[in-house]
Chain A
Amino acid sequence: NAGVTQTPKFQVLKTGQSMTLQCAQDMNHNSMYWYRQDPGMGLRLIYYSASEGTTDKGEVPNGYNVSRLNKREFSLRLESAAPSQTSVYFCASRDISNQPQHFGDGTRLSIL
């Protein structure tokens, strides 16, 4: 079972470059989420999509955009990368409220 798949696993960008992080789930889940995790910290929610066709801001949305392409895929875009966005990015999905979230293995992003 693939679960939640994130691509790429690692990426190095220069300041000002743009990039899209991809996330796909094969569990037919309704909700999908993007988090970032800085060293020594817990995860912080960037954006989420409660269902196909909807997206909402989380705790730290500035500098990011998202697209819920279909029920399976939820992408995160950095239009103009900044060093402060160096982090590990996790995508997650969930079927219905109060069911567990399933996480991908993360994308490690460094911005120079």
Chain B
Amino acid sequence: DAKTTQPNSMESNEEEPVHLPCNHSTISGTDYIHWYRQLPSQGPEYVIHGLTSNVNNRMASLAIAEDRKSSTLILHRATLRDAAVYYCILLNSGYSTLTFGKGTMLLVSP
């Protein structure tokens, strides 16, 4: 399975944009890039996913590099509630299971 590499932790100030990077140099052509986040003491929550083109939804934006070897999750204005562990996961269209790494712990300061 193709693997992802994320920083262990990042810090941000409230109301500032946050860019969470993910490297996936061995990604295959059919791998989708999924992002989930896990707030303290809760189950993971879906954030966004994409294949080749940049994607936007009400929670975040996903910017995918042209060669697809990296991607960036963008939170446009961080809030205290965005403090969580963010997981970048590759999911092949032919399989149905997610493989979670350790993710990036995002700390947000007031």
Contacts and interface: CB of A to CB of B under 8 A. Distances in A.
Interface string B32-43: 101010000111
Contacts of B100: 35, 42-44
Contacts of B101: 42
Contacts of B103: 42
Interface of B: 32, 34, 36, 41-46, 49, 87, 91, 93-103
Most buried by A among B45, B91, B95, B100: B100
Contacts of B102: 40-42
Interface string A20-41: 0000000000010101000011
B91 A45 contact: no
State the main secondary structure of chain B at its contact with A. loop
8 contacts: A41-B102, A42-B87, A45-B99, A90-B43, A92-B43, A97-B94, A98-B91, A105-B43
Contact of A90 (B44, B49, B91, B94): B44
Contacts of A31: 96
Given A98-B91, A100-B49, A45 B97 contact: yes
Nearest to A97: B96
A103 B44 contact: yes
A41 B46 CA distance: 18
B98 A45 contact: yes
Nearest to B87: A42
Contacts of A98: 32, 49, 91, 93
Interface of A: 4, 31, 33, 35, 40-45, 48, 50, 58-59, 90, 92, 94, 97-98, 100-106
A43 B44 contact: yes
A58 B97 contact: yes
A111 B36 CA distance: 29
Nearest to B42: A105
A4 B36 CA distance: 16
A112 to B, nearest CB: 22
Contact of B45 (A41, A50, A103): A103
Most buried by A among B45, B49, B95, B96: B96
